[in-house]
Structure 1
């Protein structure tokens, strides 16, 4: 897929560029980012250059991962990263994707990540035909969970031993968001099962 740019009220979501490497490197020095995400630790300048120069472009080229730099409209400061990972072929019957994000420490608590996430989910539902969006984070990551709830995700429970982390397996919270949650149509109708 060719990379695209999205906008929200305060942000531009655009493909990462090589010039973003210093800002990505600086953001990922915050110990909370490698603690709660899968970025390497310690995070080096080479990791940042590889992410913006190779990993992001390969994801778009292979039509599997769509990473966006979330930057402010009023100055272009990097707020964070937001991306979609295809969980299944979007042209097939499953049409599922996963939303992920991290936020630079100095931009947390302003609603930027939820705003970026809503823009990305809207694009996924209306343009890509995603019929189930998933979010998961290590159990205990209350910041990520708060953002997911602001976006509209419904918490579904805990996945035991879902995340390998530094030689251990950690539980994960999982949530989902459906087009119908936002009043949008789906290709396949949703037939809820009985509630436990």
Structure 2
């Protein structure tokens, strides 16, 4: 896919560029980011260069990972890295993807990540035809969960042994956002389970 740029009231979401390496490197020194994500630790400049100049652009080109750098419109400060991952089921009939993100320590608590997340989800529904967006985080990641809830994700439960972190399987929280959660139509009809409905 051709890389895309999105805007919100306060933010610019665009593909990362070589000039962003230092900002990505600085953000990923926060131990909370590798604690809860797949970001390597310790995080070196080589990691930042690879992510910005190889992983992210190749993801767009190969339709495997649509990643945005999220920046403030006012100052151009890096807020977060956010994107759609697990795109293998993006084609019909799956039409699913997962929203993933991390946020720079200094930018947390301002509503930026949820604002950016709503823009990415809107783009996924409107332009990509996604019919189910998933969010998954290690159980206990209350910050990520708060962002997902603010975006509109509905929590679906705890998935046992879903995530491998530091060589250990850990439980994950999961949630989903459907077009209908935002009052939108979906190309595929959705029949929710009704526990009170008689069996066929």
Which TM-score band (shorter chain)?
over 0.9
Cα displacement string for residues 113-159 of structure 1 (whole angstroms, at most 9, x for unaligned residues): 00000000000001000000000100000000000000000000000
Q: Is 2:137 the partner of 1:137?
A: yes
Shift, 1:55, TM fit: 0.1
Q: Is 2:113 the partner of 1:113?
A: yes
Shift, 1:195, TM fit: 4.2
Match of 1:50 in 2: 50
Shift, 1:92, TM fit: 1.4
User: Aligned ranges for residues 139-154 of structure 1 at < 5 Å?
Assistant: 139-154=139-154
Secondary structure of the structure 1 residue equivalent to 2:88 = coil
Match of 1:80 in 2: 80
Runs of 4+ in 1 over 2 A off after TM superposition: 86-91
Normalised to the residue count of structure 1, the TM-score between the two structures is: 0.98
Aligned partners of 1:88, 1:189: CA distance in 2, in Å? 21
User: Aligned ranges for residues 165-180 of structure 1 at < 5 Å?
Assistant: 165-180=165-180
Shift, 1:171, TM fit: 0.2
**Aligned-residue RMSD, C-alpha:** 1.1
Equivalent pair of 1:88/1:95 in contact (CA under 8 Å): no
Match of 1:161 in 2: 161
Normalised to the residue count of structure 2, the TM-score between the two structures is: 0.96
Aligned partners of 1:100, 1:194: CA distance in 2, in Å? 30
Shift, 1:87, TM fit: 3.8
Aligned partners of 1:45, 1:90: CA distance in 2, in Å? 32
Cα displacement string for residues 24-49 of structure 1 (whole angstroms, at most 9, x for unaligned residues): 00000000000000000110000000
Secondary structure of the structure 2 residue equivalent to 1:149 = helix
| Alignment coverage as a number of residue pairs | 196
Unaligned residue ranges in structure 1 (runs of 5+): none
